[in-house]
Amino acid sequence: MSQPATNSRNPEPTLAQVDPEIDALIRQEERREFEKLRLIPSENYASRAVIEATGSVLTNKYSEGYAGKRYYEGQQAIDGIESLAIDRLKALFGADHANVQPYSGSPANLAVYLAFCSPGDPIMGLGLPAGGHLTHGWKVSITGKYFESHAYGVRKDDHRIDFDEVRRLAKEHRPKVIWCGTTAYPRVVDFARFREIADEVDAILCADIAHISGLVAAGAHPSPVGIADVITSTTHKTLRGPRGGMILCKQEHAKAMDRAVFPGLQGGPHNHTTAAIAVAAKEASTPEFKAYAHQIVANAKELAQALSEKGFSLVTGGTDNHLILVDLTPKGVPGKVAAQALDRAGIVCNYNSIPFDPRKPFDPSGLRIGTPAITSRGMGPSEMKRLAGWMDDVVTHHEDETVLARIAGEITELCQDFAPPGIPIRDA
């Protein structure tokens, strides 16, 4: 049966009319994102412009292939959109080549394996418990099952990447690919030291900058461009774009990476996401974004200092980037208990393993927090100090629901003064 035509006299029903349950849940999430302090370091607020592009008719179009060489007709707008996204990312990062089609960070990383490895080949990455990512060869991931993975770690004394171990393992196993990239590491990644080791064993060096791509774009973290052979990233973390993935690489690897993404791994790209990546890349090239990214780091340092003053133990003693890893052992409260109490008090973070954690990953000793989202709201040093005070109160009184409710009220009040990007103001 064909649908009735819609026009201005017979308008199409809204989401609220078609599906009030989903509409109500979306509004519930809008309220949560407005009223809480979101500290999960891999999350952010995309701008209204990014969200508009994501929610556009581009979701209707198939476009397997690349601009100028597609397997479907009707690409007049799509080719322009994808080319803009690529050109803007190349300019933003100073990269030779960009691919914006990976559906997210994990598929982008799989494309690297497909381009450079055969099943069973040795590879190396930072172990998950030391702050790496599943797709850098961790054993429960396909990347740890299909390849011979040799994880390096951090040093026991200062929890910094153990480059002696990286070199020793590289010489012993001659990996095809060495990953440098992190999800829970609060310090600068020294890409040049990884390059030296990769050169010694003739390995491809791949930097996964998912967490820090916004910082890299803005010069708030050193760039791996010109050092790593390939760079992968999500686009929705510090870069503040839509939920998606991207690959940057040296020209010599451009063909291999493009072929690995399509037709190697994926079918049609998500054009609505591609358009939103183009918008995010445009936003990230502004002086405002540069200031934003530097403020993320300044806020993280301020928060780390304030937490230390409240007696929190921080992995590596502080931070150089957007992220802080708290070891709650001295506070005598497990990470999960603390994360759940913090959530009830309006502070959203995630429990996380710390290096050499004696506890299990599902009930670890640490908390992972970060400043990208709260900085997008315009918060600064004085809010970081208040936040540290609230976190201390919550951890100390984690079983006292009266304290948690009082703090939740204070946080909701603070949040009224810091409206986040991308969230429409709606009638109550």
Judged by the rule CB under 6 A, the positions of this chain that interact with ligand DSN are 42, 105, 133, 183
Q: Who's near 5: CB < 8 A, 6+ residues apart? A: none
Distance in angstroms (rounded) separating the CA atoms of residues 275 and 195:
33
Cβ 35 to ligand DSN shortest distance, Å: 22
Instruction: Say which of 82, 208, 258, 283 is annotated catalytic.
Output: 208
Cβ 237 to ligand DSN shortest distance, Å: 8
Query: Which residue's CB is nearer to ligand DSN, number 86 or number 374?
Result: 374
Question: What beta strand segments (E) does 235-335 contain?
Answer: 245-249, 313-314, 323-327
Read off the tokens for 312.
């929190």
Instruction: Say which of 243, 282, 359, 385 is annotated catalytic.
Output: 243
Read off the tokens for 145.
């099952």
Verify whether residue 62 is a known catalytic residue: yes
Query: Which residue's CB is nearer to ligand DSN, number 44 or number 63?
Result: 44
Residue of minimal Cβ distance to ligand DSN: 42
Task: Give rounded-to-5 percent helix, strand, coil for the chain.
Answer: 50, 15, 40
Verify whether residue 45 is a known catalytic residue: no
**Other C-beta atoms within 10 Å of 100: how many?**
29
Cβ 109 to ligand DSN shortest distance, Å: 10
Instruction: Say which of 234, 235, 316, 319 is annotated catalytic.
Output: 234
Distance in angstroms (rounded) separating the CA atoms of residues 21 and 28:
11
Verify whether residue 237 is a known catalytic residue: yes
Cβ 329 to ligand DSN shortest distance, Å: 22
Closest to 58 in 3D by CA, of 241, 260, 276: 276
Return the amino acid letter for 74. Answer: G
Residues paired with residue 205 on neighbouring β-strands, in sequence order: 178
Verify whether residue 145 is a known catalytic residue: no
Verify whether residue 234 is a known catalytic residue: yes
Query: Which residue's CB is nearer to ligand DSN, number 153 or number 370?
Result: 370
The three-state secondary structure class of 98 is strand
Query: Which residue's CB is nearer to ligand DSN, number 232 or number 271?
Result: 232
Query: Which residue's CB is nearer to ligand DSN, number 149 or number 182?
Result: 182
Could you give the residue numbers annotated as active site? 62, 64, 208, 234, 237, 243
